């Protein structure tokens, strides 16, 4: 079978009858079998279920029934979205074998459109991390170079797409957990404006920051998925009813750049690629404008204070009483303390403890309210920036994918890899990451486009223009035998 | 010898009368099988999303209006963190500062003297689950999460109460207001109205408060009085013997008639309050307040005043007829249906008290009456119309309750009241006049004594049931022309 | 501005509030790391945020509220199926020391 290059091409083949859903699923399962032993992108696989759903869709197509917009397309779901049929573990011992009695809205929506869930993808435990090495199960390896991380926390999702297990994945982004893996794995992703995608069924890390989003091979795939995934969900009290703003022409668009931010980038290929992209946009008639986010230097502490506090609070529910792991003891609090000690990994414990410290009565005003106020200042910076530009670009990350086990002893160093992605999370603005070529080692590089609220369509149009010149779809491991 | 005065403040947790929980659509009905009113939100499942029940906010505003409290227009939910199996998320969504309802007051009458008791605040919070104690052979506690997530209003009084009696009066008054406002059913046994008391004592004349003891789990009015009285005496005894009081939590043990210290916590709690990142702020505009005001039923003090001033009731009557909002409504329906003045009002009240209430069933905020107000109006109108007298009316009433038939039907059936109404009586009168033309001539000729003949004839025709005075009136009307 | 080092007692207090049992090594490790973390956060003290309202949560539309209407609950057996230990229709937990519920 000549595998379709991207989701849209797969849909065209399905509609034309040159491919069946069963063939697509078999292809995906074949790749998983061949590669996932080493790559480790998945935590759960439902081969039989996927085959059966593919058969059903093929039959329906034959009998001329109306099918959903994604009918026959295999996909994966980050394992922090609850699914009724498959376990949901959040890559944590705390939820080993946990079977949710309900499914995330996005999971149901995608399946209702005929997409075929292959399985659940690996992540840093409870989405806390930037490399997927913090998974309690096993790390995931980057299909482009298996000695390197795929990024995190949506590393399993990104690796799955890059290796061709299906045509897209849905992950989550709190401070860069979609965008950084997308950049590391040569993919496209969108962290949407707050409220555009339903978060019902997404296991919380920090509710004021968590966003779901798709990971795709191409920009046009991302455009289709954005359209399919968006929509009001009455179960999500934050779900927006607004339409997205129509896409604007690149001609005359003011594109902002952050000079001081760029100076932090030591990896030359990233700086060169970034400049090349600017050239492309100029050629399309965009105007490049220098902008500032004056409070960018406090984005890191602001983000981490807020995440620690919200996480510490939200993780209190895991205590061995109603679901998940329990370490048996004769006394209640001993049971809870042992359960949480053994159920949570190091990073999770770290954030819970740090967050509890920040929330203590003597600290909460200084650190948590302080961070919440700083966040307002950052939002205001963005609002001011969007008076002077229509969107702005930054490299998605300061480096390409780094090697596994290179964290060293300082966990705070890991926090720095989110430097470019944090501010858009704090401000709730939509952000796209799209590939901008590879470096000398053949490692993919990503560029981030950040827009004003509800301007996703414009960001995607700009991403399409970038992809035309700088895209690397043909290099994707999925199209090269799954090997990087 | 130092004289002490008690200083008492009360915290009431009142379940709001919504259909569903504060943050999800699960039922709040009492008495369901354990763990059958759960969903991902109130069970604290990962991936769940809380959604605020706007009705709870509306009812909270109503309470604020009923108690004359300030209503804060923009407040937030805060999470109160502590680990306990009755909290599905190990935090409770509550309010810290400021609360949705601010300062107000409640008046009680102590020995005929009015006392104003301050209300500090009232805030919205979710209820905790229930421990169904000691299953599994005593090694385990079993938890039922049905109650978890139900909407509560925590109403805190100023420490203005100065005796156990005042505390009980305050609670009774508050409960009554909440019942009449339609926001709570006042059921202490079922736990929809719960009270904790903060009790301390101080030397008379001292401003500084003494050491405070919290009394929990007071679930009847009798216990309130006795528990507080015991606690005051206990504290006095401790101080009198030169001891020191410990700030602690105690419960009332009815069996031994004492307050007992609950296990002291190892260290002080730090609830780590912070504003919830998921819930909407409680924003109240003028329209919401006006709507709540329009929905606020008449409150018991006002009802009683009206019953006394306009409907001729004694304070005692007014008390009986406002012992339940359904009863007050019933009385109002009958009185207004009969356009009662003070005299009629009293007669209606007497009848209801003597005949109707004994067969009335109360369940929560519902009152089920043996006959409808309309049916009672029909019966009492006949008494007013002198179709039947009061004694007969009571008999008819009992028959109405037993058979379900209307007053008119029973009166007709049993031939009581000489025909049903004035019109029928008038018809009888005309018949008698028609049948006795010579007597008519005699009467009209000046023989006044014949009048008695006609009265007798009409009474015979109506088997002695007619109202003699009405008979005379009608006879004169038609004989005198 | 360098913060005072986080003490062992402070970590124990935080661990108690968070209900996590820590080993000796963990206590030491987290004390060190929390000290650095607080250091990193202390730059927040230096910015001028007086009178700036906190961003507690971020939505561009008002957060929706719901009508007081009944919605289906979980069947009991589904709810209890997740429970590590269940008994008599409920979730069973070991008794608290001292026996107070």
**Residue C47, pLDDT above cutoff 80:** yes
Q: What pLDDT score does B385 carry?
A: 87
* Domain shared by B387 and B282, yes or no: no
Q: What pLDDT score does A415 carry?
A: 63
A417-426, B115-124, B263-272: which range is least confident on average? B263-272
- Residue at C27 is within a domain: yes
* Domain shared by B396 and B427, yes or no: no
Q: What does the alpha-carbon distance between residue A439 and residue A184 come to, in Å, rounded to a whole number? A: 11
Packing angle, helices B54-66 and B286-295, rounded to 10: 70
- Residue at B292 is within a domain: no
CB contact under 8 A, B85 and C93: yes
Q: Give the mean pLDDT of B77-96.
A: 97
Q: What pLDDT score does A483 carry?
A: 52
Chain-centroid distance of CA A444 in Å reads 16
- Residue at B50 is within a domain: yes
Mean pLDDT value across chain C: 92
* Domain shared by B316 and B447, yes or no: no
Within 8 A of B43 by CB-CB distance, chain C residues are 74, 79
Q: What does the alpha-carbon distance between residue C49 and residue C54 come to, in Å, rounded to a whole number? A: 9
Q: Angle at CA A303, nearest 5°, toward A302 and A308? A: 105
Domain of C40: which CATH number?
1.10.20.60
Task: Name the residue facing B278 among C13, C57, C99 (closest C-beta).
Answer: C57
CA distance B98 to chain A (A): 16
Q: Cβ distance A450 to A424 under 8 Å? A: yes
Q: What pLDDT score does A416 carry?
A: 66
Mean pLDDT value across chain B: 92
Q: Which segments of chain A have a pLDDT < 50?
A: 484
pLDDT tens-place string over residues B316-334: 999 999 999 999 999 999 9
A304-308, B180-184, B204-208, C52-56: which range is least confident on average? B204-208
* Domain shared by B406 and B463, yes or no: no
First to last CA, chain B: 90
Q: Which of A205, A255, A198 is nearest to A232 (CA)?
A: A198
Question: Which tokens hold the place of B210?
Answer: 């003494």
CA distance C82 to chain A (A): 5
Within 8 A of C10 by CB-CB distance, chain B residues are none
Q: Cβ distance A41 to A55 under 8 Å? A: no
- Residue at B466 is within a domain: yes
Packing angle, helices A219-229 and A105-112, rounded to 10: 110
Q: What phi and psi, each to the nearest 5 degrees, are found at residue B107?
A: -100, 135
- Residue at C22 is within a domain: yes
Q: What pLDDT score does A202 carry?
A: 98
Which residue range forms the structural domain that includes residue C20?
1-47
CB contact under 8 A, B81 and A333: no
Q: Where are the alpha helices (DSSP H) in B217-299?
A: 221-240, 286-295
Within 8 A of C52 by CB-CB distance, chain A residues are 373-374, 376-377
> How buried is residue A468: exposed, middle or buried, by Cβ count under 10 Å (0-12/13-18/19+)?
exposed
Q: What phi and psi, each to the nearest 5 degrees, are found at residue A190?
A: -130, 125
> How buried is residue B405: exposed, middle or buried, by Cβ count under 10 Å (0-12/13-18/19+)?
middle
pLDDT tens-place string over residues B273-287: 999 999 999 999 999
Q: What pLDDT score does A137 carry?
A: 97
| DSSP symbol at A148 | B
* Domain shared by B143 and B260, yes or no: yes
pLDDT tens-place string over residues B399-426: 999 999 999 899 888 777 654 467 888 8
Q: What pLDDT score does C2 carry?
A: 59
Q: Cβ distance A152 to A185 under 8 Å? A: no
Neighbours of chain A (3+ CB pairs under 8 A): B, C
Q: What does the alpha-carbon distance between residue B39 and residue B50 come to, in Å, rounded to a whole number? A: 11
Q: Which of B418, B438, B456 is the last residue of a domain?
A: B418
SS3 (DSSP) at A219: helix
* Domain shared by B233 and B283, yes or no: yes
Chain-centroid distance of CA A332 in Å reads 38
Q: What is the CA radius of gyration of chain A?
A: 21
Q: Which of B464, B455, B460 is nearest to B433 (CA)?
A: B455
Q: What pLDDT score does A412 carry?
A: 59
Q: Cβ distance B230 to B169 under 8 Å? A: no
SS3 (DSSP) at B300: helix
- Residue at C24 is within a domain: yes
At C96, is the pLDDT very low, low, confident or very high (cuts 50, 70, 90)? confident
Who wins on pLDDT, B78 or A418? B78
Packing angle, helices A21-39 and A47-62, rounded to 10: 160
Q: Where are the alpha helices (DSSP H) in A63-185?
A: 105-112, 155-162, 179-184
Looking at the annotation, which residues of A are catalytic? 78, 153, 177
Q: What pLDDT score does B425 carry?
A: 82
First to last CA, chain C: 46
Question: Which tokens hold the place of B238?
Answer: 């401790």
- Residue at C75 is within a domain: no
Q: Which of B287, B316, B348 is the last residue of a domain?
A: B287
Q: How many domains are there within chain C? A: 1
Could you tell me the CA-to-CA distances from B215 to A349, A374, A412, B5, B218 in Å, in that order? Answer: 37, 43, 48, 18, 7
Choose, out of C20, C21, C65, the residue to mutate when testing the contact with B (most B CBs < 10 Å).
C65
Burial letters B262-298, b for 16+ CB under 10 A, else e: beeeeeeebbbbbbbbbbbbbebeeebbeebeeebbb
Q: Cβ distance A339 to A96 under 8 Å? A: no
Task: Name the residue facing C74 among B38, B52, B138 (closest C-beta).
Answer: B38
Mean pLDDT value across chain A: 95
* Domain shared by B314 and B350, yes or no: yes
Q: Give the mean pLDDT of B215-243.
A: 90
* Domain shared by B378 and B471, yes or no: no
Contacts (Cβ under 8 Å, ≥6 apart) of B410? B396, B399, B400, B403, B416
- Residue at C81 is within a domain: no
**Residue B31, pLDDT above cutoff 70:** yes
Chain-centroid distance of CA C99 in Å reads 25
Q: What pLDDT score does B446 carry?
A: 87
Q: Cβ distance A327 to A320 under 8 Å? A: yes
What's the pTM?
Answer: 0.91
Which residue range forms the structural domain that includes residue B432?
422-479
pLDDT tens-place string over residues A443-460: 999 999 999 999 999 999
Q: How many domains are there within chain B? A: 3
Q: What pLDDT score does B464 carry?
A: 66
Q: What pLDDT score does A409 carry?
A: 54
CB contact under 8 A, C15 and A316: no
Q: Cβ distance A462 to A281 under 8 Å? A: yes
Q: Where are the domains of chain A?
A: 296-373
**Residue B72, pLDDT above cutoff 50:** yes
The total number of residues shown for chain B amounts to 481
* Domain shared by B279 and B311, yes or no: no
Pair type for strands B74-75 and A116-121: unpaired
CB atoms within 10 A of CB A236: 22
**Residue B99, pLDDT above cutoff 90:** yes
* Domain shared by B313 and B379, yes or no: yes
Q: Give the mean pLDDT of B190-200.
A: 94
CA distance A83 to chain B (A): 10
Nearest chain A residue to B82, by CA: A316
Q: What pLDDT score does B391 carry?
A: 80
Could you tell me the CA-to-CA distances from B343 to A463, B331, B382, C43 in Å, in that order? Answer: 86, 14, 16, 79
CA dihedral sign, ordered B233, B234, B240, B241: positive
- Residue at B342 is within a domain: yes
Contacts (Cβ under 8 Å, ≥6 apart) of B101? B60, B61, B63, B64, B67, B69, B70, B71, B72, B121, B122, B123, B153, B155
DSSP H or E segment with residue A293: none
CB contact under 8 A, A317 and B44: yes
Q: Cβ distance B353 to B367 under 8 Å? A: no
Residue where the block lists tokens 């480790």: A40
Within 8 A of A295 by CB-CB distance, chain C residues are 47
């Amino acid at each position: 079978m000549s595998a379709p290059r991207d989701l849209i091409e797969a849909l065209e083949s399905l509609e034309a009858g040159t491919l069946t859903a069963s063939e697509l699923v078999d292809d995906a399962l074949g790749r998983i079998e061949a590669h996932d032993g080493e790559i480790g992108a998945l935590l759960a696989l439902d081969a039989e279920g996927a085959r059966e759903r593919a058969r059903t869709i093929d039959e329906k197509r034959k009998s001329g029934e109306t099918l959903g917009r994604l009918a026959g397309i295999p996909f994966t779901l980050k394992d922090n979205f609850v699914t009724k049929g498959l376990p949901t573990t959040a890559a944590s011992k705390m939820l080993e074998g946990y079977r949710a009695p309900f499914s995330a809205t996005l999971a149901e929506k995608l399946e209702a459109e005929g997409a075929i869930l292959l399985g659940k993808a690996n992540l840093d435990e409870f989405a806390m991390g930037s490399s997927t090495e913090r998974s309690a199960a096993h790390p995931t390896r980057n299909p482009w170079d298996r000695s390197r991380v795929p990024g995190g926390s949506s590393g399993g999702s990104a690796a799955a797409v890059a290796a061709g297990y299906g045509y897209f994945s849905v992950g989550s982004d709190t401070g860069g957990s979609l965008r950084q893996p997308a950049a590391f794995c040569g993919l496209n992703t969108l962290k949407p404006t707050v409220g555009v995608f339903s978060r019902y069924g997404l296991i919380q890390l920090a509710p004021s920051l968590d966003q779901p989003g798709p990971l795709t091979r191409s920009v046009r795939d991302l455009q289709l998925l954005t359209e399919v995934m968006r929509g009001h969900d009455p179960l999500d009290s934050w779900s927006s009813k607004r339409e997205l703003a129509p896409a604007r022409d690149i001609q005359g668009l003011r594109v902002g750049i952050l000079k001081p931010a760029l100076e932090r980038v030591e990896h030359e290929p990233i700086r060169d690629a970034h400049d090349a992209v600017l050239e492309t946009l100029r050629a399309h008639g965009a105007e490049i404008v220098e902008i500032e986010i004056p409070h960018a230097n406090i984005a890191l502490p602001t983000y981490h204070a807020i995440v620690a506090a919200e996480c510490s609070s939200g993780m209190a529910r895991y205590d061995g009483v109603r679901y998940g792991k329990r370490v048996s003891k004769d006394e209640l609090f001993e049971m809870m303390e042992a359960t949480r000690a053994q159920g949570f990994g190091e990073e999770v414990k770290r954030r819970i403890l740090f967050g509890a410290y920040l929330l203590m009565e003597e600290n909460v005003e200084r650190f948590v309210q302080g961070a919440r106020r700083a966040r307002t200042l950052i939002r205001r910076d963005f609002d001011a920036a969007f008076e002077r530009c229509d969107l702005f670009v930054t490299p998605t990350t300061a480096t390409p994918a780094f090697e596994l086990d290179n964290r060293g002893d300082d966990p705070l160093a890991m926090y720095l890899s989110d430097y470019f992605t944090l501010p858009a999370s704090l401000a709730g603005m939509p952000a796209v990451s799209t590939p901008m070529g590879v470096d000398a080692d053949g490692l993919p590089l990503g560029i981030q486009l950040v827009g004003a609220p509800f301007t996703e369509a414009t960001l995607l149009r700009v991403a399409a223009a970038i992809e035309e010149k700088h895209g690397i779809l043909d290099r994707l491991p999925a199209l090269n035998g799954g090997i990087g | 010898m130092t004289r002490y005065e008690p200083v008492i403040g009360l915290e009431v947790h009142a379940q709001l009368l919504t259909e569903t929980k504060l943050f999800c659509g699960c039922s709040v009905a009492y008495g369901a099988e354990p763990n059958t009113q759960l969903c991902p939100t109130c069970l604290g499942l990962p991936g769940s999303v809380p959604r605020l029940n706007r009705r709870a906010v509306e009812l909270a505003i109503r309470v604020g209006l009923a108690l004359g409290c300030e209503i804060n227009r923009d407040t937030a939910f805060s999470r109160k963190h502590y680990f306990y199996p009755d909290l599905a998320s190990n935090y409770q969504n509550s309010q810290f500062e400021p609360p949705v309802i601010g300062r107000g007051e409640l008046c009680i009458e102590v020995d005929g003297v009015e006392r104003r008791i301050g209300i500090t605040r009232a805030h919205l919070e979710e209820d905790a689950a229930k421990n169904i104690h000691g299953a599994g052979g005593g090694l385990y506690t079993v938890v039922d999460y049905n109650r978890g997530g139900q909407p509560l209003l925590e109403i805190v009084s100023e420490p203005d109460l100065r005796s156990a009696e005042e505390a009980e009066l305050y609670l009774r008054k508050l409960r009554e207001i909440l019942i009449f406002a339609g926001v709570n059913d006042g059921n202490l046994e079922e736990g929809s109205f719960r009270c904790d008391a903060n009790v301390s004592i101080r030397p008379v004349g001292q401003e500084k408060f003494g050491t405070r003891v919290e009394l929990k789990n007071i679930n009847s009015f009798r216990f309130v009085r006795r528990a507080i009285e015991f606690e005051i005496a206990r504290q006095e005894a401790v101080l009198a013997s030169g001891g020191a009081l410990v700030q602690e939590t105690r419960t009332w043990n009815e069996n031994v008639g004492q307050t007992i210290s609950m296990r002291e916590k190892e260290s002080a709690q730090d609830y780590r309050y912070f504003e919830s990142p998921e819930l909407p702020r409680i924003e109240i505009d003028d329209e919401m307040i006006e709507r709540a005001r329009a929905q606020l039923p008449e409150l018991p003090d006002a009802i009683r005043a009206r019953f006394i001033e306009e409907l001729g009731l004694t304070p005692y009557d007014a008390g009986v007829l406002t012992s339940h909002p359904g009863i007050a409504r019933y009385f109002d329906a009958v009185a207004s249906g009969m356009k009662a003045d003070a005299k009629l009002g009293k007669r209606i009240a007497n009848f209801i008290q003597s005949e109707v209430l004994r067969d009335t069933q109360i369940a929560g905020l519902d009152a089920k009456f043996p006959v409808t107000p309309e049916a009672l109006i029909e019966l009492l109108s006949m008494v007013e119309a002198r179709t039947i007298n009061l004694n007969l009316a009571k008999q008819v009433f009992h028959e109405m309750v037993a058979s379900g038939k209307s007053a008119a039907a029973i009166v007709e059936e049993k031939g009581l009241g000489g025909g049903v109404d004035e019109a029928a009586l008038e018809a009888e009168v005309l018949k008698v006049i028609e049948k006795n033309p010579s007597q008519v001539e005699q009467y009209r000729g000046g023989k006044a004594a014949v009048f008695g003949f006609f009265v007798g004839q009409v009474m015979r025709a109506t088997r002695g049931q007619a109202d003699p005075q009405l008979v005379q009136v009608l006879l004169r009307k038609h004989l005198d022309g | 501005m360098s913060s005072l080092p986080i003490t062992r007692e402070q970590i124990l207090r935080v661990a108690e509030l968070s209900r996590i049992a820590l080993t000796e090594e963990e206590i030491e490790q987290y004390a060190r790391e929390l000290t650095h973390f607080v250091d990193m956060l202390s730059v927040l003290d230096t910015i001028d945020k007086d009178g700036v309202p906190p961003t507690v949560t971020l939505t561009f539309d008002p957060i929706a509220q719901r009508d007081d209407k009944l919605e289906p609950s979980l069947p009991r057996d589904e709810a209890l199926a997740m429970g590590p230990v269940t008994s008599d229709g409920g979730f069973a937990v070991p008794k608290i020391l001292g026996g107070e519920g």
